[in-house]
Each structure stands twice: as structure tokens, then as C-alpha cells.
Amino acid sequence: MPDEAKIERDRIERRRFKIKDIDQLKLVDDVFNEYTLKALYELMNRRIVLEVYGPIAQGKEAKVIWGKDYEGKDLALKVYYTLANRFINRNPYIMGDRRFSGKPSNPFKLASMWCRKEFRNMKRAYEAKVLVPTPIAFYNNILVMEFIGEDGAPAPLLKDEPPSDVQSAYIDVILNVEKALIIGKLIHADLSEYNILNWNGKLYIIDWGSAVDSSHPNSTDLLYRDIRNINRFFSKLGASTVDEGKLTEALIERSRGSYIIDNNRVIINGKDLLSYLNLS
Ligand SMILES: Nc1ncnc2c1ncn2[C@@H]1O[C@H](COP(=O)(O)OP(=O)(O)OP(=O)(O)O)[C@@H](O)[C@H]1O
Ligand SMILES: [Mg+2]
């Protein structure tokens, strides 16, 4: 066996935690406190997760852990931190969302609430045919989803690996924003090249924790901000973008009518978004 492969295998072996020894995870990563271990234990008992290997990424609100299911398929486990201070800045979003009207009372509940919120949002996006990692399950502060990447190496972020065809990637992203809004009634609200994975020529939108229902009082501003971020990134790469005000208005206008889906596109009065904008 070549050295590199052996090192990699040893690395995995060292990080291989099955149900009998998940207690040891505490030693590997401090994200695994008692509360989180119990959640992991539950997901293992339900046979959703077979084993976990270790962290692949660390975000502001969660750590993402690589694992496997009983069929040997890779999983990404997003483990929300249970520290109260991590959430203070995010609170206004939850508070403005009618689905979360109760006041969370402790950091464990708050982490679980965020996890449930992200899972539901992801599921809505997934069902609206937006390209997202398939949401699989959640329990307390752990969200389980499809792993995007290979052999424990996560797919690069769009910011680190720009697409080869920037124009069609731009169109792809705005059509996904439209599907989320019109079919899923959802606005991502934290969309940028930092929350898109570029894998095998496909762009997966991740990090749905702060997404809001289209009935949110700030929905237009949030949608505008998402589009502005996307426009900024893609125009820097040389794509020709649709003016953010015009695009936001078009999307809001289109979200008022009834739609059909044809060929994975939203059609309103016979027009998809591109023909509505006279782009095709
Ligand atoms: N399904 C997945 N497959 C592979 N990698 C993933 C997956 N989901 C997330 N990641 C990796 O984990 C990182 C953190 O995920 P995510 O953006 O959802 O967390 P976050 O804590 O909200 O991050 P931040 O607040 O810093 O944006 C991502 O940037 C990506 O590298
Ligand atoms: Mg993120």
C-alpha cells in the first residue's frame, strides 16, 4: 500500500467511533459534550448513523463532522454549538419568523431550535428542487445530511473554486433562488460564494439556518441582499449579471402569480425567469 493511502487509512481508523465507544469522542473534539453525545447515540440507535470520523469544517455556529451510514455512504453531521453566546447575533432572525415565536430558554434548546430550523428549511428547499445536500435526519443539535465531496474531503466552496462557465453558473444560482422563493416560499438570507459548494460541475447551496419564510417582514431586503452578494461575486468573475433591484422586483412579482414546473423550471404565464427578463 502506498504510504499516503496507509496514512489516510490510519487516520480514519484512529477517528473511527462506533456506538460502543462514542464516549471517547469527547477526547477528540470538545464539540461532543454530554448533550451532543446523547444526540449522536440516538441517531446511531435509529440506525441513521453507523460511525463518525471527525471534524471536516468549523463554522461560526456549528462544526461539520464526517460520518458513514449503514450502507457505507458518507454523511455530513452538522453539530450546532451549545454555547449561549454563539447565538446572540442570530437571534433577531429567529424572533422575526412566525414559526419560532417562543423564547428559547437555554443554550441546548437554542442549539436544537437552530438545528430543527435548518433541517426544515433544507427540506423545503430540497422539495422545491433547489440543489442542496439531501437532508436526512436531525436530533437535538445534530443535523444529518448527504456528504458533498469524496473520501472525507468536503467539496470546495465556490469562493475557492470558481466555476468553469461563470455565465451558466450565475443563471443556475438565480434559478435556484427563484425555485426556493416560488416553490419553497423561502429566502436563504445568507447566500454568497461562502455558502455554495462546487462539486462535479454542480453548485450546492448550503447553510440554510438563517433562511426565512417569504412572509417575513424583511423578506424583500433579505432577497435583495442575497442577489447583491451573488451579483458581486459573479460580476467580478466576468459574468453579465441582472441588476439586483430589477431581479429582486422580478422575483417578487413572479412570486405573486401561480406557477407550473416544466423541465425543472418555474413557468408563470408561459414564461420562465430568463424569458421574463428578456434574457433568452
Ligand atoms: N453537506 C456537506 N458536505 C460537505 N461539506 C459540508 C457540508 N455541509 C457543510 N459543509 C462544510 O462545512 C462548512 C460549514 O458549514 P455551514 O456553512 O453550513 O456552517 P456554519 O457554521 O453555518 O458556517 P458559517 O456560519 O461559518 O458560514 C462549509 O463551509 C463546508 O465546507
Ligand atoms: Mg456557512
Over the stretch 214-265, which tens digit does the pLDDT of each residue have? Answer: 999 999 999 999 999 999 999 999 999 999 999 999 999 999 989 999 999 9
Tally of CA atoms within 13 A in the half-sphere of 245 that contains its CB: 0
Phi, psi (deg, nearest 5) at residue 117: -60, -45
The residue from 10, 207, 226, 243 that is catalytic is 207
Q: Where are the domains of the chain?
A: 3-153, 166-276
Protein residue with its CA nearest to atom 13 in ligand 1: 57
Q: What spacing in Å lies between the alpha carbon of 211 and ligand 1's midpoint?
A: 15
Say whether pLDDT at 26 is over 70.
no
**In 10 A of CB 45, how many CB atoms?**
11
Q: Is 62 in the pocket of ligand 1 (CB under 6 A)?
A: yes
Q: Is position 207 annotated as part of the catalytic site?
A: yes
Over the stretch 143-172, which tens digit does the pLDDT of each residue have? Answer: 999 999 998 899 999 999 999 999 999 999
Q: Is position 160 annotated as part of the catalytic site?
A: no
3-153 shares its CATH topology with 166-276: no
Say whether pLDDT at 103 is over 80.
no
Inter-axis angle of helices 244-254 and 219-236, nearest 10: 130
CATH 1.10.3660.10 fits 166-276, yes or no: no
List, edge to edge, every strand of the sheet that includes 135-139.
51-58, 62-68, 74-80, 142-146, 135-139
Task: Report pLDDT for 53.
Answer: 85
User: Hey, what CATH class is 3-153 in?
Assistant: alpha beta
Q: Is 207 in the pocket of ligand 1 (CB under 6 A)?
A: yes
Containing 146, the helix (H) or strand (E) segment is: strand 142-146
Specify the higher pLDDT residue, 2 or 143: 143
In the numeric block, which cell numbers belong to residue 129?
Answer: 428542487
**98 with 188: CB under 8 angstroms?**
no
Task: Report pLDDT for 197.
Answer: 98
Q: What spacing in Å lies between the alpha carbon of 73 and ligand 2's midpoint?
A: 23
Protein residue with its CA nearest to atom 17 in ligand 1: 207
Q: Is 11 in the pocket of ligand 1 (CB under 6 A)?
A: no
Which of 9-18, 62-71, 187-196 bottoms out in mean pLDDT, i.e. has the lowest? 9-18
